[in-house]
Every structure is written in structure tokens, then in C-alpha cells.
């Protein structure tokens, strides 16, 4: 979860909302919405313990065409776009630290190299890759914790509460637009559902991982962004040269250039784990789609890593890296993924109405809050950014268009059964 969004978003958010307090409020609201979503996903994960994520939930609870729509969203936005944006963010923070002879290397080359490295690691084996992922994430959390301690030790020198960032008019529409961007930073809360079948006691452990992880990351995000928007001056954060590197700007304000370099290292490690996690989890969705006959059978795997799917995903991510920029991806991914997640969580109520016997957590209030708030934000964002709303709609609709053709032509897998059969 702790990836490129948290290290790049708040500069733009401060410029839009005008004051650090509003930025922190947006991150708190975004975290509460994500926690509600995590509770909903946890209930679905306890009911469906196979790997596959949104594709599995929607295909089994609603209809295969809904699952295929979610699968294509995962392919185009959830993993391809997310890997690309994490790798591009990694390259942005890493390149200035390279020896001068290497700083002329295009950002896309550095980003692509990180994707290839992650693909190699996860091709070797899931258990070794998972252990490496655990080690790197542990290091990342230690480094983030160290940054927080140093930042609060120097709290007397923080400059961000001296003046507003801008005189821009604040409105609910502007606030909603920023929440869509922030929602991308929380989007990884559902990652564990993509590898459920490879987790011991998945019915118990996957929901715990989802909800517990989201609670922890919400706290980390609020603390980090308090530092990001209060430590430097507002003018430094919103300067065009710094606006996408708010973490480095904050670090320089706290401890000078040397401390900023250390923070860049923390961010590079953090984004490397994001790339690795996405390269690990995405191919499991495509393998499940192959089981159900919507992808070629060579994407299937059993008792070994899904090698074909891993490299297919990595190649798509490298293509995306060569065709887009970090800023262009933030709003599109936040909107597209949140719409798909809201549809997924709504399956709890579909299953309940059908008499499936599924338990609605906390009387169904958190899932309902997540679905309604996410859809409301999507509508408000679409009013202000219609072109991205259209792009998200096209992405979601691709599965609907392709379903009749794939349903007729692709070989059927053993799991291809109607959910009501």
C-alpha cells in the first residue's frame, strides 16, 4: 500500500485545498473510506478463499461478465497502470542519486529495469519472493519510522503553518477531486485477496491482513502527510519544481540535503516493494481468468509461479511506462480502481439478498459507507474531470464488449461454472 501516491500527491492537494489542515482532513477521510472498504473485502475474502480478487468475487457473486469487466480493469489499471506509476515514481526519486554519468539515463529505462528485476524475483518462486518481500517491507517500515522520529524531533522548525498555500476557493467539488487522487494511495488495501489460495487458513488470515494492514497504513499516511505539509513552507511544496516530490522537499526542510538523500532512499525502497507486490499479485488474477476460460490456458499454473502471466504483466507495464507520465496516471487510476472496488463490495448485499448466508460485518454499515461514498466521489470527480471519467468508463466497459467473443471462442476451464449451478 505504501507506494508512489503518498509521496507525490500532497503537493498537488495543498495547492488545490489551500491549507495544510484541509490536506490532513482529506487523508483522514480517505483512510476512513478505505477502512470501510477493507472490512467489506474481508467479508468477501472469508466467503471466497480462492485467488482472483475482484474478478473472482464478481464472477461468482454476480455473473461471469461482471468478473471479466473487473479482470480487464485489473489488467489495464489495477496492475499495469499501478506498476507503471510506482516504477516511474521510483525512477524520479532514484535518478538524482545516481552518479552523474548515469543521470542522463531516461527515466523510463530506470523504471523498466525495476519491473524486470521484480519479474525475475517472482519467477524464481513464490515462497522465496514472499520472504524477500517481507524483509524489504520490514526495512521500509523501519526507515519510515526513523523519518517520522527525526521529523517530530525537529518540530520546532516546521514552517508550513505560516501562510496558506494559495487563495483558491475551497469547495466540496475540489475536496472530492483530491480524495479521488488520495484514494489511489489507499488502493492496495485489497492486495491479499489476489493470493488467497496460497495463504494458510485464508478464511481467517486474509481478512485480518486486509483490515489490520489498512488501519496501520492509515495511521502512517496521516502522520507522514502531517510532516510533508507542515515541515516545509507552503510555497516550497507547491513550487512547480517540487510539487511532485513533497517528501524530499519536507526532508530538506527538516535536515538539509543529506537528510533528503536518506529519505529518497526510503522512498526508492518503498516503491520497489510496491512494484514487487503488484508483479506478484496481478498474474494470479489472470491465472484465475484462464481457469475460467477467459484467458489462454498457458496463463494457468499449479504448484509453481505463474511465469507466463508474470512476464506478460511485466511487458504490459513496460509499454505503459513508455507511453505515459506519473501525473497523468494518478487521477485515472484512482477513479477507475475505486469504481471497480465499490462494485465489488456491493456484492455483499447481492449475496445477502440471494440468501447466500454471508455475514454482513457491523450490520453492513462499513460496506454501505464505502460503496456510497466511493460512487459519490466518482460522480463529483467526473463533473470536474469528464475526460478521465470517460476513460475510466471505457476501461470498465471493455470486459462487457469482449465477453460475448471470449465466451464463444476461448476454451473453457474446469472452474467455468455458473455461480448459481
pLDDT at 278: 84
- CATH code, domain carrying 373: 1.20.1740.10
pLDDT at 299: 81
Q: How would you class 336 by CB atoms within 10 Å of its CB: exposed for 0-12, middle for 13-18, buried for 19 or more?
A: buried
Query: Which cell numbers hold the place of 181?
Result: 487522487
pLDDT at 416: 44
In a domain, 305, yes or no: yes
Domain count, the chain: 1
pLDDT at 143: 83
In a domain, 419, yes or no: no
pLDDT at 125: 64
Question: In angstroms, rounded to a whole number, what is the distance separating the alpha carbons of residues 209 and 195?
Answer: 12
In a domain, 148, yes or no: yes
pLDDT at 18: 86
pLDDT at 161: 61
pLDDT at 364: 94
Low-confidence ranges of the chain (pLDDT < 50): 410-421
Tell me: the pLDDT tens digits for 145-196?
999 999 999 898 898 665 555 555 678 888 988 998 899 899 888 888 877 8
Query: Any idea what the Cα angle at residue 31 is, between residues 47 and 182, rounded to 5°?
Result: 110
Question: In angstroms, rounded to a whole number, what is the distance separating the alpha carbons of residues 51 and 288?
Answer: 7
Tell me: the pLDDT tens digits for 38-93?
999 999 998 988 877 788 888 888 888 888 888 788 778 888 888 998 998 898 88
pTM: 0.82
Q: Is the Cβ–Cβ distance between 26 and 179 less than 8 Å?
A: yes
pLDDT at 288: 75
In a domain, 421, yes or no: no
Q: Is the Cβ–Cβ distance between 248 and 147 less than 8 Å?
A: no
Query: Which cell numbers hold the place of 157?
Result: 522548525
Q: Any idea how long the chain is?
A: 421
Query: Which cell numbers hold the place of 82?
Result: 499501478
Q: Report the sign of the C-alpha dihedral through residues 192, 193, 197, 200, in that order.
A: positive
Q: Tell me the residue range of the domain where 114 lies.
A: 4-409
298-335 b/e with 16+ CB inside 10 Å = b?
ebbbeeebbbbbbbbbbebbbebbeebebeebbbbbbb
Look-up: residue for cell 507520465?
325
Tell me: the pLDDT tens digits for 171-184?
888 898 899 889 98
Q: Is the Cβ–Cβ distance between 46 and 25 less than 8 Å?
A: no
pLDDT at 31: 97
In a domain, 393, yes or no: yes
Question: In angstroms, rounded to a whole number, what is the distance separating the alpha carbons of residues 287 and 103?
Answer: 38
In a domain, 297, yes or no: yes
In a domain, 416, yes or no: no
In a domain, 415, yes or no: no
Among candidate residues 18, 370, 345, 358, the one with its CA nearest the CA of residue 171: 18
Question: In angstroms, rounded to a whole number, what is the distance separating the alpha carbons of residues 189 and 195?
Answer: 13
pLDDT at 230: 93
Q: Report the sign of the C-alpha dihedral through residues 378, 37, 3, 7, in that order.
A: positive
Query: How many CB atoms within 10 Å of residue 145?
Result: 13
Amino acid at each position: 500500500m505504501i507506494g508512489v501516491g503518498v509521496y507525490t500527491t500532497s503537493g498537488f492537494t495543498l495547492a488545490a485545498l489551500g491549507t495544510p489542515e484541509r490536506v490532513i482532513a482529506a487523508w483522514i477521510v480517505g483512510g476512513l473510506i478505505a477502512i470501510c472498504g477493507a472490512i467489506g473485502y474481508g467479508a468477501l475474502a472469508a466467503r471466497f478463499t480462492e485467488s482472483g480478487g475482484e474478478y473472482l468475487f464478481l464472477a461468482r457473486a454476480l455473473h461471469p461478465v461482471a468478473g471479466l469487466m473487473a479482470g480487464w480493469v485489473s489488467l489495464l489499471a489495477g496492475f499495469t497502470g499501478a506498476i507503471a506509476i510506482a516504477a516511474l515514481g521510483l525512477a524520479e526519486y532514484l535518478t538524482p542519486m545516481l552518479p552523474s554519468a548515469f543521470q542522463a539515463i531516461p527515466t523510463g529505462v530506470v523504471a523498466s529495469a525495476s519491473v524486470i528485476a521484480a519479474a525475475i524475483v517472482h519467477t524464481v518462486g513464490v515462497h522465496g519472493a514472499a520472504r524477500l518481500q517481507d524483509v524489504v517491507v520490514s526495512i521500509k517500515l523501519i526507515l519510515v519510522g526513523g523519518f517520522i522520529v527525526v521529523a517530530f524531533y525537529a518540530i520546532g522548525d516546521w514552517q508550513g503553518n505560516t501562510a496558506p498555500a494559495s487563495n483558491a476557493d475551497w469547495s466540496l467539488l475540489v475536496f472530492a477531486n483530491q480524495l479521488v487522487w488520495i484514494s489511489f494511495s489507499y488502493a492496495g488495501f485489497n492486495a491479499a485477496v489476489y493470493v488467497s489460495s496460497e495463504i494458510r487458513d485464508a478464511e481467517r488470515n486474509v481478512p485480518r491482513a486486509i483490515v489490520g494492514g489498512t488501519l496501520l497504513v492509515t495511521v502512517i499516511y496521516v502522520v507522514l502527510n502531517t510532516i510533508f505539509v507542515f515541515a516545509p513552507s507552503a510555497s516550497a511544496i507547491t513550487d512547480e519544481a517540487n510539487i511532485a516530490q513533497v517528501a524530499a522537499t519536507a526532508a530538506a526542510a527538516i535536515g538539509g540535503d543529506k537528510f533528503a538523500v536518506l529519505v529518497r532512499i526510503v522512498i526508492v525502497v518503498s516503491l520497489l516493494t510496491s512494484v514487487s507486490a503488484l508483479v506478484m499479485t496481478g498474474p494470479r488474477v489472470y491465472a484465475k481468468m484462464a481457469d475460467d476460460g477467459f484467458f489462454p490456458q498457458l496463463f494457468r499454473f499449479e504448484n509453481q509461479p505463474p511465469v507466463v502471466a508474470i512476464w506478460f504483466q511485466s511487458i504490459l507495464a513496460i509499454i505503459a511506462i513508455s507511453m505515459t507520465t506519473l501525473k497523468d496516471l494518478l487521477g485515472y487510476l484512482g477513479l477507475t480502481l475505486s469504481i471497480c472496488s465499490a462494485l465489488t463490495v456491493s456484492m455483499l448485499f447481492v449475496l445477502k439478498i440471494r440468501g447466500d448466508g454471508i455475514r454482513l460485518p457491523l450490520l453492513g454499515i462499513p460496506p454501505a459507507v464505502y460503496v456510497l461514498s466511493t460512487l459519490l466521489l466518482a460522480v463529483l470527480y467526473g463533473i470536474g474531470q469528464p475526460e478521465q471519467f470517460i476513460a475510466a468508463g471505457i476501461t470498465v466497459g471493455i470486459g462487457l464488449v469482449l465477453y460475448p467473443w471470449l465466451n464463444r471462442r476461448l476454451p473453457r476451464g474446469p472452474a467455468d461454472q455458473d455461480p448459481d449451478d
